[in-house]
Copies of this chain bind each other. A is one copy, B any other.
Amino acid sequence: MDAWEAIYTTRAMRRVKKDPIPVEVQKKILDAAIRAPSGGNTQTWRFLLVDDPAVKAKLGPIYRECMDMVWGSIYNTRLDAAKASPEDPESVEFMKMYRSASHLAEHFEDYPLMLFAFCQFDTSGGSIFPAVWNAMLAARIEGVGSSLTSAFHFKGDAMKKVLGVPEEGNWIFSACVTFGYPTGRWGVAPRRPAHEVSFRNSWDGALGFEIPEPLWSMD
């Protein structure tokens, strides 16, 4: 696959089949993850694949509690606004995301494979999320959809207990990525254009160009 296609079409894919992810694909996902940089190349990361139904059955209810907390706290204003004026374009976009994320929570146990990423000492995320994103790009190359969620933070202790994360070692939970072969089609996700969020040489400095359309497309 062309590298641009991987970058442009790796997006949250939460509607997936139950088909297992072959071991050869799992290898590619993990081997891509560890190619990422980390501060001082310390590689103080740890990756847990989860595919045991018994483990997923314990994690599912915890994840749903977490998502209830997500909707009830950080997103409650946006959720209320979207419900109040459902025809607003922003509401439409938000409700799409809400339904998709809720689908993930409701069907958590059905995802054939998950990757839990942990890191030590790195509180900024700069030494773990490049690896997590590489894993998702690698999955995309192999035709496997993925979705990144950090919502387990809301019930971090319960999740860590299920996975047996030790108290010592200062291990920080960073991300849970769900994997599965998508039921839908790949595409470029909607985003605000880069020139609206990019500046030059100072906070409000003129960037000097616009990028009205994505520089790569499916056609």
Known: A55-B202, A133-B130, A148-B37. A7 touches B197 (CB 8 A): no
Quickly give the copy total for this chain.
2
**Min distance, Cβ A117 to any Cβ of chain B, angstroms:** 10
State which of B6, B124, B193, B215 has its C-beta within 8 Å of the C-beta of A3: B6
In the complex, are the beta carbons of B202 and A164 less than 8 A apart? yes
In the complex, are the beta carbons of B191 and A34 less than 8 A apart? yes
> Which chain B residues border A188 with CB–CB below 8 Å?
35
Residues on A lying within 8 angstroms of B by beta carbon are 1-8, 10-12, 23, 26-28, 30-37, 39-41, 43, 45-52, 55, 74-75, 78, 93-94, 97, 101, 121, 123-126, 128-130, 132-134, 136-138, 141, 148, 150, 153, 163-166, 174-175, 188-195, 197-205, 207-209, 211, 214-216
Give chain A's interface secondary structure class.
mixed
8 tightest CB-CB pairs across the interface, nearest first?
A125-B125, A129-B129, A3-B6, A30-B194, A164-B203, A130-B133, A47-B198, A52-B201
**Min distance, Cβ A25 to any Cβ of chain B, angstroms:** 11
A2 to B7, CA, bound (A): 11
In the complex, are the beta carbons of B47 and A93 less than 8 A apart? no
In the complex, are the beta carbons of B137 and A7 less than 8 A apart? yes
State which of B6, B47, B209 has its C-beta within 8 Å of the C-beta of A194: B47
A41 to B12, CA, bound (A): 10
**Min distance, Cβ A29 to any Cβ of chain B, angstroms:** 9
Tell me the nearest residue of chain B to A26, going by C-beta. B209
> Which chain B residues border A215 with CB–CB below 8 Å?
27-28, 31
A163 to B205, CA, bound (A): 9
